[in-house]
Amino acid sequence: MISKVAKFEFECKFTERVKGFFLTFATLVLKRVSCLKITSIMKKILALVLISLSCSDKKVEKRNNCVQVEQVMAPTACYDKAQGLTLTADTPSSQGLEWVIAPLADTTGAQTYVPYYVSTASNTITLPDSVIKNFPKIGIAHVGSYGCGSDLYFSFVKRTGPDSCVRWYLQEKFVKGK
C-alpha cells in the first residue's frame, strides 16, 4: 500500500491568544451572516477556523515500543525482473514497516531523487521492476515501524556477476546525520 505522505512528526502549536482570536472571529462572522446567505468565502473561513481549533489541542505521541531496524538484506539469488526486488528488515515478520525508497540514477548517490513511499504489513518489501529498472542504486532513507524514527540509511547497488547473473548488494549502511 503506497502512503502518499511522508512521515514527519509535527505538533499543532496555538497559544491561548490565537485560539481566542479565532473564537472571536468566528463569533463575529456568525453574528453578521444570516443563515440563508453564507457565501463560499465565509464557508472556507469557518472551515479553517474549525480545523485550527480542532487541531490546537492534539499532540503527536511518539511510540515507546519502537524496534530499530539494524539491517536490511537483499536476496542472494539472481534478480528476476518479473518478481521484483524483495528486501527484508531484521525485525519480527509480523511487524509492519514504513519504507522510504530512493531510486538513484548513479552509484555515487550525489543527486536528488523522487521518493517512493510504501507501508508494508510485514518486515519485507517487494519493489516492482517498474520502480527500479532504470536505476543502478537504491537508497533506503527510512525504514521503521509507524510512528518510530529511523536512524540508519542503507543503499544497494545492482551488479552483474561473472555468471551473467544480476544481483543487488548492500553498498552502504551508516547512521544518518553523522
Delimit the domains of the chain by residue range. Answer: 16-55, 72-175
- What is the block-wise mean pLDDT of the chain (178 residues), using blocks of 10 residues? 30 39 52 53 62 51 74 96 96 89 79 86 94 93 89 94 95 88
Long-range CB pairs of 41-50, under 8 A, 24+ apart, other chains included:
49/22, 49/25, 50/26
| Cross-strand bridge partners of residue 173 | 154
Residue 115: which of 3, 33, 18, 35 has the closest Cα? 3
pTM beyond 0.75: the answer is no
DSSP 6-50: ----------HHHHHHHHHHHHHHHHHS-TT---HHHHHHHHHHH
